[in-house]
Amino acid sequence: MPQFNHVCIIDDDPIYIFTTRKIMEMGNFSSYIEVFKNGKEALEALKPRVEANENIPEVIFLDLNMPIMDGWQFLEEFMTPNTQKIIIYIVSSSIDPADLNKAKQYSLVTNYIVKPITPDKLKGLFDKIEK
């Protein structure tokens, strides 16, 4: 049985999306994996669901550097009292300490993970989440 019903990936890198989705499917981490290619696309789809408290992802994997709306802009627009129960991992290729420190300023962000995500790294993340 999957650990989660709904996991969301917000990232513009098709190779990362494909790889992460396959790892999640093979590890049976989620029964539904939703993908958005930028923060604006994700915000437009998720914000109304959060406000209605329907079909909300339990975990979001958020990239920082995306076109149209980046991860930081997404976080600013997405933060509401209803989003506090969503687990958000920033997953980025950035190793800049400024990004890591900025991520710590967001109560929504559970952790900052440097790409790539491996099966062991993903399993470790999911094992730490209490359901």
pLDDT in tens, 75-102: 999 987 777 789 999 999 989 999 999 9
Question: How confident is the model over 48-75, as a mean pLDDT?
Answer: 93
Higher-confidence residue of 130 and 80: namely 80
Higher-confidence residue of 33 and 30: namely 33
CA distance 40 to 74: 7
CA distance 12 to 96: 20
What residue segments make up the domains of the chain, in order of their start? 7-128
Q: What's the confidence (pLDDT) of residue 108?
A: 85
Fold of 7-128: Rossmann fold (3.40.50)
Q: Answer yes or no: are the C-beta atoms of 91 and 113 closer than 8 Å.
A: yes
Q: Is the pLDDT of residue 131 over 60?
A: no
Q: Answer yes or no: are the C-beta atoms of 131 and 3 closer than 8 Å.
A: yes
Q: What's the confidence (pLDDT) of residue 27?
A: 86
